């Protein structure tokens, strides 16, 4: 007994230690990771897999900061940074390779880069830190890797772009998802690689060598993106998050990260979010800041560009010059003058927030000081310690090229870009205001002082499952903007929801500007509470055995909300709970519910499946559910009864009536199939649901079966009042003997 108690205490303490740890990818922390391979010839096996292009893994035990995990799967990571002649190769470690559900702080895959082609050791970590300010990007830090208790070296530890990443940034993981890396990189002039051109024809199968699908489906979606981008560019915003794409290009060109789409068209992901738009995701910054200096030769750099050319790289090269290899993701977007101004506005933000103020240099110094001793201890590193200390500011000679000093490159580059045509001369946006005390469905007036602009607009949405819409603003005296020509612009957003996300954009002949400057990754918000009866708990199912499954194929508890109004309602800022003292137990996602429509919450304690999965389960013995605003004001509250298998507790009439047991109407109107008394010309049965007795009047034979198919009652042409007090609660079926195709459902409840 004492031994069992001791094991419990140790497990509890380990759990506390695990949850009390800081973020595994905390940039300011150097982690310790240890691999213990089962086979003594592990390196030969991994080398062999790499040579033949096999992605198989070998087994090892893994220890992360003192916590051990059994039977993880290990293989090499990447392509150019791997070599059978190197000791220090990059690793891809899958924690749940054998043991389902095994993870470390929710992380089931580790990506360890060997800092190849980066004498400074900080390019990858610093670049990800910058990009995370403007778009969804991986976290990254440093770790000392030990193999069989031998220090293998200092690695960068980069968060994998996988389904956990998608949940964290897009609140979903089941949509079309692609890694855009060709099977065989074409380094010849004109090589298309993963450039999203339509050069491979109209059959989506022809694109498989250039894009790796990471989802269960999506080739049709990818080809639709390619077709729209190339043949119908005016409609591209229907299938592509254009603003996020402009941010990706701005980051790559600002940081001279050419091992990406702008170079050989690779090293990025695409994910189709809940708005049906594809989003680009950056990947692999190990040769940013000019570490990779090859292009598709669009600027006639056939043998690559030197450091001076990198400092002065034209950010609109694919607009100003001919692309040797098609780059439609740039050239077709840059064909719009306004989109070019937006793109340059993003570059200005990157320069001003990171480089012109020398913030990147301060961070670079900090990161190098953080890992200084670890670099000295790394006997397998590719460069000398003096190369490490100098490469933050000075160039370092490599075997076949020269790696620029980071400040050597970026101080000159920020000066070049800040004098680039279209960078400066932008309007100013200030004094933002909105009308107050509006109600659901009212019009919202938004005004701002916008000076030196010829065009201004506000972009808004009511929920994250909807795209931003553009509404032009005017300074004409008739848009709640004061006097005409006074520099105050205004516009009206009609039929408002209870939550509005919005940002501004303005431009003139010179350049454009956003407010906030990190838009649309950051934005302003306006919210007010939802009134009772506008949004109701409409149906609850706490014993879902076989009625409907979630995206993972599991039959889970669910709660249906219903918007009873003629206006969109956002769940942003709303909470639902099954624990009365804790009204804020689970905050709903920023999701818009259309007028007279439904929203399903899966009550399964599985947020790893998406934003619509709550952090609690339902009791099939019955309990209370409370829907509330952020100020704890109650929107709706119900107490549901004990439930039997595959029977729900729902309002009838739909949205307004009292609750009763009924056949489930998942995500549909409850009025159509509510369980009620059965009455046809030759047969009547009541009440339904029933408890201790059941009345049956029949002119023909019938029998009653339980859910296991057992006949518990059989009769012929009679009127009966049946004592059902001995029957178990649950679902029953009445079959008419002369009509084998007709079945009626009965429900027995307490």
pLDDT reading at 190 higher than 60: no
Q: Which of 7, 114, 46, 29 is nearest to 371 (CA)?
A: 29
Q: Which residues of 281-315 are buried (b: 16+ CB within 10 A; e: fewer)?
A: bbbbbbbbbbbbbbbbbbbebeeebebebbbebbb
Q: pLDDT class for 277, splitting at 50, 70, 90?
A: very high
- The structure's pTM equals 0.88
Token match 């592509």: residue? 240
For residue range 657-711, list pLDDT tens digits in order: 999 888 888 999 988 544 556 666 667 888 887 888 888 887 777 888 876 667 8
The first and second tokens of residue 479, run together, are: 């848009």
pLDDT reading at 728 higher than 70: yes
Q: What pLDDT was estimated at residue 183?
A: 86
Q: pLDDT class for 12, splitting at 50, 70, 90?
A: very low
d(CA 660, CA 649): 5
d(CA 666, CA 558): 9
d(CA 594, CA 69): 46
Q: What pLDDT was estimated at residue 3?
A: 37
- What average pLDDT does the structure give for the chain? 90
- Does residue 409 contact residue 311 with C-beta atoms inside 8 Å? yes
Q: pLDDT class for 16, splitting at 50, 70, 90?
A: very low
Q: Note the CATH architecture for domain 428-527.
A: Sandwich (2.60)
43-57, 90-104, 334-348, 718-732: range with lowest mean pLDDT: 718-732
Instruction: Count CB atoms within 10 A of the CB of residue 731.
Output: 20
Q: What pLDDT was estimated at residue 52?
A: 87
352-361, 374-383, 450-459, 656-665: range with lowest mean pLDDT: 656-665
Q: What pLDDT was estimated at residue 398?
A: 83
pLDDT reading at 738 higher than 90: no
Q: What pLDDT was estimated at residue 15?
A: 43
For residue range 699-719, list pLDDT tens digits in order: 777 888 876 667 888 877 666
Q: What pLDDT was estimated at residue 20?
A: 36
- Segment 290-307 mean pLDDT: 78
Q: pLDDT class for 19, splitting at 50, 70, 90?
A: very low
pLDDT reading at 14 higher than 70: no
pLDDT reading at 17 higher than 70: no
For residue range 146-185, list pLDDT tens digits in order: 999 999 999 999 999 999 999 999 999 999 999 999 988 7
Give the phi and the psi of residue 721 in degrees, each rounded to 5: -115, 110
For residue range 506-563, list pLDDT tens digits in order: 999 999 999 999 999 999 999 999 999 999 999 999 999 988 999 889 999 999 999 9
Q: What pLDDT was estimated at residue 2?
A: 37
Q: Which of 548, 557, 566, 540 is nearest to 636 (CA)?
A: 540
Q: What pLDDT was estimated at residue 189?
A: 56
d(CA 647, CA 624): 17
In the chain, % of residues over pLDDT 70: 92
Token match 């982690």: residue? 31
Instruction: Count CB atoms within 10 A of the CB of residue 506.
Output: 27
pLDDT reading at 34 higher than 90: yes
Q: pLDDT class for 270, splitting at 50, 70, 90?
A: very high
The first and second tokens of residue 129, run together, are: 């830190």
d(CA 560, CA 618): 13
Give the phi and the psi of residue 359 in degrees, each rounded to 5: -60, -40
- Does residue 563 contact residue 535 with C-beta atoms inside 8 Å? yes
Spatial neighbors of 387 by CB under 8 A, at least 6 apart, are 119, 396
| Surface-to-core class of residue 202, CB atoms within 10 Å of its CB (0-12 exposed, 13-18 middle, 19+ buried) | exposed
- Does residue 356 contact residue 414 with C-beta atoms inside 8 Å? yes
> Which residue did the predictor score with more confidence, 521 or 436?
521
pLDDT reading at 9 higher than 70: no
Strands 574-577 and 634-639: unpaired
DSSP state of 238: G
| Run of H or E including 389 | helix 385-390
Q: What pLDDT was estimated at residue 301?
A: 74
d(CA 555, CA 550): 6
Q: What pLDDT was estimated at residue 655?
A: 94
- Segment 375-389 mean pLDDT: 97
pLDDT reading at 726 higher than 80: yes
359-377 vs 123-131: helix crossing angle, rounded to 10 = 140
Spatial neighbors of 704 by CB under 8 A, at least 6 apart, are 711, 712, 713, 714, 732, 733, 734, 735, 746
Instruction: Count CB atoms within 10 A of the CB of residue 123.
Output: 26
d(CA 547, CA 492): 44
User: Where do the CATH 2.60.40.3080 domains begin and end in the chain?
Assistant: 678-748
Q: What pLDDT was estimated at residue 677?
A: 64
For the chain, counts of helices (H) and of strands (E): 13, 40
- Segment 726-749 mean pLDDT: 72
> Which residue did the predictor score with more confidence, 624 or 722?
624
For residue range 115-132, list pLDDT tens digits in order: 998 999 999 999 999 999
Q: Which residues pair with 517 in a beta bridge?
A: none
User: Where do the CATH 2.60.40.10 domains begin and end in the chain?
Assistant: 428-527
In the chain, % of residues over pLDDT 90: 73
Token match 């000093």: residue? 405
The first and second tokens of residue 355, run together, are: 């480089």
Domain 535-662 -> CATH class: mainly beta
Q: What pLDDT was estimated at residue 676?
A: 55
- 678-748 placed in CATH 2.60.40.3080: yes
For residue range 219-264, list pLDDT tens digits in order: 999 999 999 999 999 999 999 999 999 999 999 999 999 999 998 8
- Does residue 88 contact residue 114 with C-beta atoms inside 8 Å? yes
Q: What pLDDT was estimated at residue 642?
A: 84
Number of alpha carbons in the 13 Å side-chain half-sphere of residue 655: 16
DSSP state of 236: G
- Segment 577-595 mean pLDDT: 94
């Amino acid at each position: 007994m004492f031994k069992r108690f001791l094991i419990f205490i140790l497990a509890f303490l380990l759990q506390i230690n695990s949850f009390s740890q800081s973020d595994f990818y905390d940039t300011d922390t150097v982690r310790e990771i240890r691999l213990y391979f089962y086979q003594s010839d592990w390196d030969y096996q991994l080398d062999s897999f790499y040579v033949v292009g096999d992605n198989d893994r070998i087994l090892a035990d893994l220890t992360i900061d003192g916590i051990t995990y059994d039977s993880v799967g290990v293989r090499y990571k990447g392509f150019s940074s791997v070599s059978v002649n190197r000791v220090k190769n990059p690793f891809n470690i899958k924690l749940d390779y054998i043991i389902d559900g095994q993870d470390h702080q929710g992380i089931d895959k580790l990506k360890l880069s060997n800092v190849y082609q980066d004498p400074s050791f900080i390019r990858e970590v610093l670049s990800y830190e910058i990009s995370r300010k403007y778009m969804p990007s991986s976290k990254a830090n440093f770790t000392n890797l030990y193999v069989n208790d031998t220090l293998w070296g200092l690695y960068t530890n980069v968060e994998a772009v996988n389904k956990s990443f998608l949940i964290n940034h897009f609140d979903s993981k089941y949509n079309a998802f692609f890694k855009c890396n060709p099977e065989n990189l074409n380094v010849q002039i004109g090589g298309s690689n993963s450039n999203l051109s339509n050069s491979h024809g109209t059959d989506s199968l022809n694109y498989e060598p250039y894009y790796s699908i990471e989802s269960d489906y999506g080739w049709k979606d990818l080809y639709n993106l390619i077709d729209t981008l190339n043949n119908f560019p005016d409609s591209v915003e229907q299938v592509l998050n254009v603003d996020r794409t402009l941010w990706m290009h701005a980051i790559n060109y600002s940081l001279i990260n050419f091992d990406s789409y702008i170079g050989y068209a690779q090293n990025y992901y695409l994910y189709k979010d809940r708005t049906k738009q594809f989003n680009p995701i950056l990947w692999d910054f190990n040769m940013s800041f000019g570490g990779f200096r090859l292009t598709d030769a669009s600027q006639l750099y056939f043998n690559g560009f030197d450091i001076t050319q990198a400092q002065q790289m034209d950010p609109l090269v694919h607009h100003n010059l001919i692309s040797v290899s098609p780059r439609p993701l740039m050239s077709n977007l840059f064909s719009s003058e306004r989109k070019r101004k937006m793109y340059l506005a993003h570059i200005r933000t990157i320069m001003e927030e990171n480089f012109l103020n020398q913030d990147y240099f301060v961070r670079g110094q900090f990161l190098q000081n953080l890992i200084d001793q670890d670099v000295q201890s790394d006997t397998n590193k590719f460069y000398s310690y003096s190369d490490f200390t100098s490469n933050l500011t000075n160039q370092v000679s490599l075997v076949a090229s020269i790696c620029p000093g980071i400040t050597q490159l970026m101080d000159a580059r920020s000066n070049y870009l800040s004098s680039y045509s279209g960078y400066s001369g932008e309007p100013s946006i200030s004094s933002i205001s909105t009308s107050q005390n509006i109600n659901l469905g009212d019009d919202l007036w938004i005004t701002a002082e916008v000076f030196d602009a010829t065009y201004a607009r506000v972009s808004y949405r009511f929920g994250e499952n909807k795209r931003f819409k553009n509404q032009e603003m005017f300074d004409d005296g008739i848009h709640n903007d004061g006097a005409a020509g006074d520099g105050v612009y205004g516009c009206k957003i009609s039929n408002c929801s209870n939550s509005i996300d919005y940002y501004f954009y303005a431009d003139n002949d010179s350049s454009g500007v956003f407010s906030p400057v990190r838009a649309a990754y950051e934005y302003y918000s306006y919210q007010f509470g939802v009134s009772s009866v506008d949004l109701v708990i409409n149906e609850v199912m706490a014993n879902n055995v076989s009625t409907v499954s979630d995206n993972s194929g599991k039959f889970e508890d669910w709660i249906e909300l219903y918007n009873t109004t003629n206006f969109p309602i956002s769940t942003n800022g709303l909470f639902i709970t099954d624990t009365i003292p804790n009204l804020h137990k689970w905050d709903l996602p920023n999701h818009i519910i259309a007028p007279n429509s439904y929203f399903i919450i899966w009550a399964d304690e599985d947020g790893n499946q998406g934003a619509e999965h709550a952090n609690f389960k339902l009791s099939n013995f019955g309990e209370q559910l409370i829907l509330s605003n952020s100020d704890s004001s109650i929107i709706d509250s119900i107490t549901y009864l004990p439930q039997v298998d595959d029977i729900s507790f729902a309002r009838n009439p739909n949205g307004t009536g009292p609750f009763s047991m009924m056949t489930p109407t998942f995500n549909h109107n409850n009025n159509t199939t509510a369980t009620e008394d059965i009455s046809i010309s030759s047969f009547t049965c009541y009440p339904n649901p029933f408890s201790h007795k059941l009345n049956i009047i029949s002119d023909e034979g019938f029998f009653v079966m339980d859910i296991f198919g057992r006949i518990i009652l059989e009769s012929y042409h009679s009127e009966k009042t049946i004592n059902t007090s001995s029957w178990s609660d649950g679902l029953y079926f009445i079959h008419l003997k002369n009509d084998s195709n007709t079945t009626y459902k009965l429900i027995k409840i307490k």
